[in-house]
Amino acid sequence: MSGSTLAIHGGTPVRSHYLPYGKQVIDEADIESVVQVLQSDFITTGPAIEQFEAEIARFTGAKYAVAFTSGTAALHGACYAAGIGAGHEVITTPMTFAASANCILYQGATPVFADIDPLTYNLDPKRVKEKITEHTKAIIPVHFTGQPAELDEIHTIARDNNLVVIEDAAHALGAQYKSKSIGSISDMTMFSFHPVKHITTGEGGMITTNNPLYYEKLLQFRTHGITRDQRRLTENHGPWYYEMQFLGFNYRLTDIQASLGSSQLKKIGSFIEKRKQLAEFYTKELSSIEEIVLPHQLSYMDSSWHLYILKLQLSKLTAGRKEIFQALHKENIGVNVHYIPVYLHPYYESLGFQKGICPVAESCYEQFITLPLYAGMDDHDAADVVDAVKKVISHYSIHSRRE
């Protein structure tokens, strides 16, 4: 296999059909759960929402959970509940999806990017500390690829500076930090149910928290800022009466989606197990390739393996990341790149952010390639990914002899 002509040069691809990098796994029980809701009295904000919230709270070990229309909406809600507003700075990582920082802008505050650790690619607590000012209000760590960030150090910094910690755990449903479940640890934690994540509701998200005040604010924020709670009304005109007390949004998940979420959550154990097995297989099969660096896992982290990322050692390769990416695509392996550092996007540049803020993240971005990883992959799919990586990397290795 390693010696054969690359598909990009006219050879036969490793696979005959395309393997995506991520994809949902939907079974008959999932479909049935949605049909049941469609035949019931409530298709939105009915019993399925509360049930799904209770199940996520139980699974993560949090006291409360509040469902939102997306992970992004959930982050927006968390920033509101944390009291983040104009004049505040919020520290986050650049190695993430734009939503982790956009939620700060939604609230009129300023995102501050701290650089990542070169081994784990997670927020580096030393760099976070350097970014603290009198305006800092919160820290939003992201559990990149599913391996938790350094939460103890981050919490120490937060305690010393009176900051709120909101975890972006879009990658980390089912992950553990020092044997504690992600979702039970910080002030608030966000999960996403986008189809490439561990479980899906189509679109959807959740905030978990142990704090009843945050819980109340999150509930009200996702429904226009409206409350019907007798204890909190300032007047009462009659049984129909409700009050809009601040500017909220309609961020309510439907019962159709929540029911799918509950059905998906029943399979979370096997989904994570499958992802772990695939990651172990990649690590075993690829560890001898000196041109790539495999994901580094810390002993006290238990990753839920949302992504498996290779870091190319470009000095040992005769082609750049783009050629290698394209060559793998031609082998029908749907590799991806996570992430373009957030502040390099044109919108962030228009706000004044410039290249060079986080050199480690920028250099990682140049070298990263994400391999396919999802619970619906079988052994053949995984073997194809390994074969294609070996084929392409050996072709472009500086050691390879070319005719």
Ligand X SMILES: *Cc1c(COP(=O)(O)O)cnc(C)c1O
Residues near ligand X (CB under 6 A) are 70-72, 96-97, 99-100, 142, 168, 170-171, 192, 194, 205
Q: Are strands 188-192 and 180-181 parallel, antiparallel or unpaired?
A: unpaired
What is the distance between the alpha carbons of residues 164 and 166, in angstroms, rounded to a whole number?
Answer: 7
Least Å distance, CB 177 to ligand X, is 16
Least Å distance, CB 175 to ligand X, is 13
Tell me the C-alpha to C-alpha distance, in Å, between residue 285 and each of 147, 288, 356, 386.
21, 7, 35, 7
What is the distance between the alpha carbons of residues 164 and 207, in angstroms, rounded to a whole number?
Answer: 14
Least Å distance, CB 72 to ligand X, is 3
Q: Which residue has the tokens 């109340």?
A: 216
What is the distance between the alpha carbons of residues 210 and 199, in angstroms, rounded to a whole number?
Answer: 22
Nearer residue to ligand X within complex by CB, 197 or 395? 197
Nearer residue to ligand X within complex by CB, 221 or 396? 221
Least Å distance, CB 257 to ligand X, is 11
Cβ atoms 43, 255 nearer than 8 A: yes
The residue number with the shortest CB distance to ligand X is 71
Least Å distance, CB 256 to ligand X, is 16
Nearer residue to ligand X within complex by CB, 77 or 205? 205
What is the distance between the alpha carbons of residues 247 and 219, in angstroms, rounded to a whole number?
Answer: 13
Residue count of the chain:
403
Nearer residue to ligand X within complex by CB, 173 or 328? 173
What is the distance between the alpha carbons of residues 45 and 402, in angstroms, rounded to a whole number?
Answer: 63
Nearer residue to ligand X within complex by CB, 70 or 264? 70
Nearer residue to ligand X within complex by CB, 98 or 319? 98
Least Å distance, CB 289 to ligand X, is 27
Least Å distance, CB 205 to ligand X, is 5
